[in-house]
Amino acid sequence: MTQISCIVYPPTVDYDYMPQRPQHLMKEFSNMQIPAYYMNINLFKKRKGIEQINPYFFLFNDVNIKPFLKNSRPVIYFSLPDHINMVKQYKPSLLVFDSIDEPSEEFAGWRQHYRRALLLADVVLASSDKLYRMAASVNENTYLIPNACDYEYFSQALTAKLGLPEDMNGFSGPVIGFMGAIASWCDLELLDRLATNFPDCNIILLGPLYNVQRKQVPARSNIHWLGIKDYKDLPAYLQAFDVGIIPFKLSSMIESVNPIKMWEYLAAGLPVVSTAFPEAQKHRDVVLYSENEAEFMENINIALYEDSPEKQALRLELARQNSWKSRARQIISIIENELAQKPYYQSANLFSLPEKLSQKDTPNLKLTFRATGARFACKNATY
């Protein structure tokens, strides 16, 4: 029986914006029948109230979560260093800080609270080797938990007939694809030269413009920025790709990145061509890792014209071994071990509604109690 009453993720990433590590992990925690409460910043779909994603996963949209934790000591899982100053209000049984980006360059604003988050967390998770080294020098209770993929979901690009997305119609020739934020850490000049070197290929960019302007995206006839896409449609786009690329600029921040897109490309069976950052180099037996621009261009050619079923099988196996499900199991094992070492920890067995609400007032809210916490179900409930 688990000692975890529930896991709470404070408001950081909009649930509907480019599913990232926190969304994936919280979903997998809930799939392990651990109540997972995701505090949504709610900028995109303007969701209302508390929404049930599955029997154990709940979105809190502009709802004060504290009354629901009144008799519970949650595990607080957080990834924004600033939150170290506000998480105590939830009376956590355990603080788990997930270090997912280096606090430098585009994320320099995190630096102010980063060391404090490392020092005060009971457990630190790190998504790359560099972040692990940085965190372990401050908090010895640090664990390397790289990013991963939803293997079953993205492998549909190989196993199902998904249909060509409408905005991919009319493109002829091989497709070199990129999926993710179009940001300052992307080497747009490299993309420009890629388009010139492979004029018969179409370069498809999927994702939002993060901190760059539209005019900065190279204006080439074979470069097509299609904008941000719904997560449910991504396997169909990857099915239309011939190569997946990761054209990151080299920087201190990028040295600490373990890109989720790398794992998702692999799960879709695609050849992956990357620039020279450490987390790609670790997997150069399956990733076409490029030390320089000339190698990048050569690797694109290899990916397009020298791939094989044997190479694809190796990619798929690596992706299969690196799933969010396996990462979540690792993390829950770590949390359980930590809680077992806390003699003062007492598992909650109650889950309270806010005083102003009652079951009579909220007919769509159903409570079921369990020895180590509670789960609740709601349908179209707004608070």
Q: How confident is the model at residue 356 (pLDDT cuts 50, 70, 90)?
A: very low
8 Å CB contact between 236 and 164: yes
Strand partners, 375: 368
Estimate to the nearest angstrom the gap between the alpha carbon of 212 and the chain centroid: 21
Q: What CA–CA distance (Å, rounded) separates 377 from 50?
A: 9
Predicted pLDDT of residue 343: 63
Q: What CA–CA distance (Å, rounded) separates 257 from 154?
A: 21
Q: How confident is the model at residue 4 (pLDDT cuts 50, 70, 90)?
A: very high
Laid out side by side, the sheet with 36-40 consists of 49-54, 57-61, 36-40, 7-9, 75-78, 94-99, 123-126, 142-144
Predicted pLDDT of residue 263: 98
pLDDT at 43 over 90: no
Predicted pLDDT of residue 344: 56
8 Å CB contact between 48 and 41: no
Report percent pLDDT > 90 for the chain.
Answer: 79
pLDDT at 368 over 70: no
Average pLDDT over residues 221-238: 96
Q: Residue 285 has what DSSP assignment?
A: T
Q: Residue 211 has what DSSP assignment?
A: S
Q: From residue 91, give the alpha-carbon distance in Å to each of 66, 69, 174, 334.
A: 10, 9, 55, 20
Residue keyed to tokens 């790398």? 262
Domains, the chain, in order of start with CATH, read: 7-148+324-378 (3.40.50.2000), 151-321 (3.40.50.2000)
Predicted pLDDT of residue 170: 87
Q: CA-based angle 145:80:2, to the nearest 5?
A: 55
Q: What CA–CA distance (Å, rounded) separates 148 from 125?
A: 14
* Helix 260-267 and helix 309-321, axial crossing angle in degrees, nearest 10: 130
Torsion of CA 277, 181, 95, 68, to 10 degrees: -160
Q: Residue 11 has what DSSP assignment?
A: S
Lowest-pLDDT choice from 105-119, 141-155, 303-317, 363-377 = 363-377
Predicted pLDDT of residue 71: 83
pLDDT at 19 over 80: yes
Strand partners, 244: 177, 272
pLDDT at 61 over 70: yes
Computed over every residue of the chain, the mean pLDDT equals: 88
Q: What CA–CA distance (Å, rounded) separates 87 from 331?
A: 19
At 129-160, the pLDDT tens digits run 999 999 999 999 999 999 999 999 999 999 99
pLDDT at 366 over 60: no
**DSSP reduced 3-state for 231:** helix
SS (H, E, C) 307-339: CCHHHHHHHHHHHHHCEHHHHHHHHHHHHHHHH
Report percent pLDDT > 70 for the chain.
Answer: 89
Predicted pLDDT of residue 183: 92
Output the six-digit token pair for 38.
């995701």
Q: Which residues contact 373 (CB under 8 A, 6 or more apart)?
A: 4, 5, 6, 35, 72, 347, 348, 349, 351
Predicted pLDDT of residue 291: 97
Average pLDDT over residues 107-111: 76
pLDDT at 350 over 80: no
**DSSP reduced 3-state for 124:** strand
Rounded to two decimals, the pTM is 0.87
Burial 284-302 (b: 16+ CB within 10 A, else e): eebbbbbeebebbbebbeb
At 256-302, the pLDDT tens digits run 999 999 999 999 999 999 999 999 999 999 999 999 999 999 999 99
